[in-house]
Amino acid sequence: MKKNITILENTIFSTNTARLKLTQALIEYGYNVTILSTGPKKEMELARSKGFKVLDVGASNTNILDILKYIKNIRSGLIKTKPDIVLTFTMRPAIWGNLITHFLRLPTITNISGIGPLADSESFAYRVARLLYKFVLKKTALIFFQNRDDFDYFIKKKFVKPSQAVIIPGSGVDYEHYSPQVQNRNDGKFVFLFISRLIKDKGILEYVDAAKALKELDSNVVCQVLGPYYSQNLKENIITEIQVMQWLDNGIVKYLGAADDVRPFMAEADCIVLPSYREGMSNVLLEAASMQKPSITTNVPGCNDIVQHGVNGYLCNVKDSIDLKQKMQQMISLSASEREEMGVKAREMVIKKFAKKIVIDAYITAINRF
């Protein structure tokens, strides 16, 4: 008899991108999979067009009524799908999902795909999150961590026991899908590309500041931004359309919108930039490396696991637009063959350490324990 697996995901966009191969693999292995998530109608329909069963459970931020509605929707979804195993990803599903699966006595595998400002922020929301983590993961069957720093933090805070925790290489990367492509552009410009949801924690403000400084020095530099607006975050962390329009009006960056497939944009860029404040394991950097592109990122967990300074890219100081600008200048000063060599080393590294198959095998092994 088929096992029922219910996946609780913060946004369906992640199902269609980072978790696509894992979800497909679970179905191919014969599991009956349902996804509880939310997102724009277009993204929900895209997931269904891939053959996925999807239930919209909405979202929540810090409003207590929204949280209660979200919890109710998750509970109803789990009762309806009758899972043998539940998989959760990201903070809200990890907290509220595990709270509900504990009371419903459902075995749960949780993926801590990045803790963001959890360790340091004194905002009310993150202080509550730290408090809740002390309780909600106690009965979780297995917790996957994407880097050693997050693993150590949760162990130190006694959010989880060492016997519950395993480190996996992020979400992994499909290096055949994200393969090197020929760059068709021949305009003499040097193109930097920032890819992320438009939130401040990803370092977009530092990128814009660095881009402004670079544009004043070199008119041949083009700084692009690719990614969706994202409202499922704290208000103080959100980038608004008004801000982006101001950047465009001032000629600082070019906004490319959002895309289901980032590969054509990566192929035409000379370097990928992600000055994130912290990651679980950056999918953008993994995909860039797989496509044989050098990257510039911050010297923080989930980024410095992928980029080795001077080998396959450059590391800059976190929240430091001046240092970021300097690293971008260093990248420009390299010859095309030197950047190409960085890209080659980047791809060799992801194939060896971050292949998607490693992550899928870890999930299949864990699921077969139940």
pLDDT-above-90 percentage for the chain: 76
Cα separation, 106 vs 100, in Å, equals: 9
Return the exposure string of 125-145: e unless at least 16 CB atoms fall within 10 Å of the residue's CB, then b.
ebeebeebbeebbeebbbbbb
Question: Beta strand 313-316 with 271-274: parallel, antiparallel or unpaired?
Answer: unpaired
Taking 70 as the threshold, does the pLDDT of residue 233 lie above it?
A: no
Q: What is the pLDDT of residues 239-254, one digit of tens each?
A: 989 999 999 999 999 9
**So what's the pLDDT on residue 232?**
65
Q: Do domains 4-172+355-367 and 190-353 have the same CATH topology?
A: yes
Q: Would you mind telling me the total number of residues written for the chain in this entry? A: 370
In this structure, the number of other CB atoms found within 10 A of the CB of residue 289 comes to 30
DSSP string, 140-177: -SEEEESSHHHHHHHHHTTSS-GGGEEE--TT-B-TTT
DSSP 3-state of 50: coil
Structure-block tokens of residue 51: 């053959």
DSSP, collapsed to helix, strand or coil, labels residue 334 as coil
Q: How far is CA 366 from CA 73, 85, 135, 143, 172, in A?
A: 27, 10, 22, 10, 16
Instruction: Provide DSSP, 94-149.
Output: IIIIHHHHHHHT--EEEEE---GGGGT--SHHHHHHHHHHHHHTTT-SEEEESSHH
Question: How high does pLDDT run on average in the chain?
Answer: 92
**How close are the terminal C-alpha atoms of the chain, in Å?**
13
**Please, what sign has the CA dihedral across residues 116, 119, 125, 130?**
positive
* Pair of tokens at residue 293: 């592109």
Contacts of 245 (CB under 8 A, 6+ apart): none
Indicate if the pLDDT at residue 142 is higher than 90.
yes
Contact 111, 144 (CB under 8 A): yes
Inter-residue contact 219 to 231 (CB < 8 Å): no
Condensed to tens digits (0 to 9), the pLDDT of residues 33-82 reads: 999 999 989 999 999 999 999 999 998 877 889 889 999 999 999 999 99
Query: pLDDT of 10-35, one tens digit each?
Result: 999 899 988 999 999 999 999 999 99
Spans of all domains in the chain: 4-172+355-367, 190-353
Amino acid at 48: R
Among 17, 282, 278, 54, residue whose Cα is nearest residue 149? 278
Which single residue is written with the structure tokens 């430091």? 320
User: Does residue 134 carry a pLDDT above 90?
Assistant: no
pLDDT band, residue 301 (cuts 50/70/90)? very high
CA distances, 296 to each of 9, 195, 276, 312 (Å)? 29, 12, 10, 9
CB 197 within 8 A of CB 227: yes
Of 203, 285, 206, the C-alpha closest to 252 is 206
Beta strand ranges found along 157-261 (DSSP E): 165-167, 190-195, 221-226, 254-255
Q: Kindly report the pTM of this predicted structure.
A: 0.89
290: left (phi over 0), alpha (psi -120 to 50) or beta: alpha
Please say whether the beta carbons of 318 and 299 come within 8 A.
Answer: yes
Identify the CATH number of the domain defined by range 4-172+355-367: 3.40.50.2000
Residue 205 has pLDDT above 70, yes or no: yes
Query: Domain 190-353 carries which CATH code?
Result: 3.40.50.2000
